Amino acid sequence: MTDKTPCQLRERDDIVLRVAHLSVNFAVGKQTVQAVTDVSFDVARGETLGLVGESGCGKSTIGRAIMQLPPPSAGAVIFRDQDMTVLSGEALRQTRTGLQMIFQDPVSSLNPRRRVRDIIAEGLTIWGRDNSAARVEEVMSAVGLDAASAGDRRPHQFSGGQCQRICIARSLALDPDVLICDEPVSALDVSVQAQILNLLEDMKARYHLTMVFIAHNLAVVKNISDRVAVMYLGKLCEIGNTEAIYSKPVHPYTRALLASIPDADPLAREQALLDEEPLLQGELPSPADPPSGCRFRTRCPYAQERCAREEPFMQAAGDDHFVACHFPLL
């Protein structure tokens, strides 16, 4: 392996999706905004990778860049031993069906003018696969929808949770290898979120899915993920197995993020009042003009002169635990 290969990429046979040196730039007026810069990670078969970060960190952009919707500005997305970024036309359309996506707003993800049955069968119809009523009913019942009563209705007759089930059924109909979930529960009622999270776990087991789960809610990500990647301002800060990240965060940003979660434990109240000291200083810098060196340095309580000068690269911080920080909290 050349030294350019990021250390967090694993050498395993069962890697389903590998994202290497991915960058996405957007033109905003005359400026170029780097939404995602040099992000690398991989996902093994049957694994769920959680992608967390605050709004504007580029996590949703990565999800779409993997789908080539739109294609990234640089880097490679390797799926089924092919670099999707060099594919186009028919080959891209064909390969893309192996990856499916679920979005945050289930209502906006469903065409209001079409019947549920047609929405779910759409992918099968496009590819001339078996779009029989039996096949549609099979996926519908898998996600807990009653095909007989729900099939002929339109999306607006369903609640948000039910709509998200329809979206999941639509994705599963194409039998994908990888399911990319972009904030799938954050638009749902609290009492409905658990239904969808459980459903995703069930579907993952039933259809042998590999998942990329993008969310801002750290507790939700922990619940569903085997590995977690933490992003800040378009870059990866820390990646590793879920237990390691949550129990022993070594990047100052991850630590601040975890410390910000309100705990549903009233006994922690005294504690909460004590550590009112801000964990983060200042404000999120503009992605159009990110800080030199480490992007987190402007808000990091441990920042030193080297952080402004040198960009930190990923280094091992433990068993399956990697961090991009000059002074990790080991």
Partner 1 sequence: MTDANQHEPLLLRVTGLTVRLNSSHGLVHAVEDVSFSLARGQTLGIVGESGSGKSVMARSLMGLLPRRSIAFGSGSILFHTDNAQEQDLAQMPDKLMRHLRGPAMAMVFQDPMTALNPVLRLSVQLTEPLRQHLGLDRQQARSRAIELLAAVGIPDAAGRIDQYPHQLSGGMRQRVVIAIALACNPALLIADEPTTALDVTVQKQILDLLARLQREHNMAMILITHDLGVVASRADYIAVMYAGRIVEYAPARTLFTSMQHPYTEALFKSIPRINDPSHTRLQAIPGRPPQLINAAVGCAFAPRCQYVQPRCRQQTPPVVEVPDAREHRHACFYPISPGLNREEGDD
Partner 2 sequence: MRTKVSDQSVVRSRAQGFSAAARQVFGRGFGPGFWIAAGWLLVVALSAIFADVLPVRDPLDPVISNRLNGPLTTNILGADGLGRDMLSRLVHGARVSVVIALTAVTIGMVIGGTLGILAGYFRGHFERGLMAVLDVILAFPWLVLLLALVAFIGQSLMAISVAIGFLWIPAYARVARANTLSVVQREYVLAARAMGAGTLRILLREVLPNVILPVLAYGLVAMGLVIIVESALAFLGLSVEAPQPTWGGMISEGKRHLATAVHVALVPSITMFLTVLSLNYVGDRLRSRFDVRESNL
- Interface residues with partner 2 (CB under 8 A)? 64, 67, 69, 93-94, 96-97, 99-101, 103-105, 107-114, 122-123, 126-127, 156, 167, 170, 174
Integer Cα distance of 265 and 42 in angstroms: 35
Q: Which residues from 187-246 bind partner 1, rule CB under 8 A?
A: 189-195, 197-198, 201, 216-220, 222-226, 242-243, 246
Amino acid at 191: S
Return the amino acid letter for 22. L
**In whole angstroms, how far apart are CA 29 and each of 32, 33, 56, 72, 207?**
8, 10, 18, 19, 44
Where helices occur in 73-232 by DSSP H, the ranges are: 89-96, 116-126, 133-142, 147-150, 160-173, 190-206, 218-224
Q: Which is nearer to partner 2, 109 or 298 (CB)?
A: 109
Q: Of 276, 289, 305, 319, which lies in the binding site for partner 1, with binding defined by CB under 8 A? A: 276
Given the complex with partner 2, which of 122 and 311 has the nearer CB atom?
Answer: 122
Q: Report the partner that residue 28 touches, choosing among partner 2, partner 1, none (CB closer than 5 to 8 A by kind).
A: none
Q: Which does 134 bind (CB under 5 to 8 A by kind): partner 1, partner 2, none?
A: none
User: Residue 115 or residue 248: which is nearer to partner 2 going by CB?
Assistant: 115
Helix (H, G, I), strand (E, B) or coil at 300: coil
C-alpha–C-alpha distance, residues 40 and 242, integer Å = 17
Q: How far is the CB of 152 from partner 1 (least distance, A)?
A: 20
Residues 6+ apart with CB under 8 A from 163: 106, 107, 109, 110, 155
Q: Which residues make up the interface to partner 1 (CB under 8 A)?
A: 54-55, 159, 161-162, 189-195, 197-198, 201, 216-220, 222-226, 242-243, 246, 256-269, 271-273, 276, 278-280, 282-284
